[in-house]
Amino acid sequence: MTMAGNCFLRVSTWLKQIYLPWLILLYNREVHAQLNDVSCIVHNEEFMECRWNHTDGEANYTLFYWYTSTSPEECRNYIQENGYNVGCYFSKDKIIEFENFYLYRNGSSDSGSLTKTFQLQNQVKLYPPTNVTLNMTENNELLLSWETPAKLLECRMYEIRHRSNKDKVWQVQVITAQTKYVLSSVDPTKFYTFQVRSKINQYCASTELWSEWSSAVHWGKDPIQSEYTIPLIINGNS
């Protein structure tokens, strides 16, 4: 072999030694991301949906589940799209919190099989607050209030966002265990918009799942529709 050939061989071997481990790592991460696609959401502690992605050409999946205290059983209410199973619906009586919840999704090959474990109190996504109202108080403060179910009231936290027609970004506040918020600095020449969302707080569970935002409520002089101050607008769910 010529000197140029020997040099090319050494360079090729060196490149393989450097890049091959990275290629294997990236491949394993991609496979793991594909496998780790089952997510479960407990909607307002009333029902649960566990869903996964399905790609055309893949075999249909089946799902088995169990708790630490129960035996495995297959999903009885599959969620389907185009004739394929893409999830499972669980009624309220099938939801047990503060106990390990196990899922096994079975495919036609190892690439489709997956086992996951959840604590369902950490998978709760609440409904948005209702009957959101906005009032101007005697002290010229804006009082935002809303309603929420009495159940687990002490376990709820809220995020309020508001901005005026002069603001480019939302102002955000987080509060716990109360259903009102006061904005003391109000400019009567501005048009304000408020929204609220909620989630289970850190004292009752470990969840990052916020509810959807409530319908917006407004106060002030609408620069588009009206020249008059709007004292109160009441909205319910989105």
Average pLDDT, the chain: 80
What pLDDT sits at residue 13?
Answer: 45
**What is the value of pTM for the model shown?**
0.73
Contact indicator for 101, 67 with CB cutoff of 8 Å: yes
| Placement of tokens 């991301």 in the chain | 33
Nearby residues of 221 by Cβ (< 8 Å), 6 or more positions away: 188, 189, 190, 191, 227, 228, 229
Is the model more confident about 11 or about 96? 96
Sheet holding 217-221, edge to edge: 171-176, 156-164, 191-200, 217-221, 229-230
Is the model more confident about 96 or about 6? 96
How far CA 203 is from CA of 40, 89, 125, 154, 159, in Å, comes to: 21, 28, 16, 9, 16
For residue 42, what are its two tokens?
Answer: 């407990």
Burial class (CB in 10 A: 0-12, 13-18, 19+), 123: buried
For residue 220, what are its two tokens?
Answer: 């002030």
Q: pLDDT tens digit string along 102-129?
A: 999 887 555 557 789 999 999 999 999 9
Distance CA(100)–CA(120), nearest Å, equals: 8
Distance CA(15)–CA(59), nearest Å, equals: 38
Q: pLDDT tens digit string along 134-178?
A: 998 888 899 999 998 766 678 899 999 999 999 999 999 999 878
Query: Is there a common fold for 38-124 and 127-230?
Result: yes
- Domain topology for 127-230: Immunoglobulin-like (2.60.40)
Is the model more confident about 108 or about 224? 224
Q: pLDDT tens digit string along 195-222?
A: 999 999 999 999 999 999 999 999 987 7
Nearby residues of 222 by Cβ (< 8 Å), 6 or more positions away: 191, 230
Question: What are the domain boundaries of the chain?
Answer: 38-124, 127-230
What pLDDT sits at residue 6?
Answer: 52
Distance CA(229)–CA(223), nearest Å, equals: 10
Res. 57: pLDDT tops 50: yes
Does an H or E element contain 197, and which? strand 191-200
Is the model more confident about 6 or about 219? 219
Share of the chain above pLDDT 70, in %: 74
What pLDDT sits at residue 232?
Answer: 43
Band of pLDDT at residue 226, cut at 50, 70 and 90: low
Share of the chain above pLDDT 90, in %: 56
CATH superfamily ID and name for 38-124? Immunoglobulins (2.60.40.10)
Band of pLDDT at residue 133, cut at 50, 70 and 90: very high
Nearby residues of 33 by Cβ (< 8 Å), 6 or more positions away: none
CA-based nearest residue to 60, from 40, 33, 100, 88? 88
Res. 237: pLDDT tops 70: no
Lowest mean pLDDT among 26-30, 57-61, 65-69, 135-139: 26-30
Give the rounded distance of the alpha carbon of 12 from its chain centre.
Answer: 47
* Number of Cα atoms under 13 Å in the Cβ half of residue 36: 8
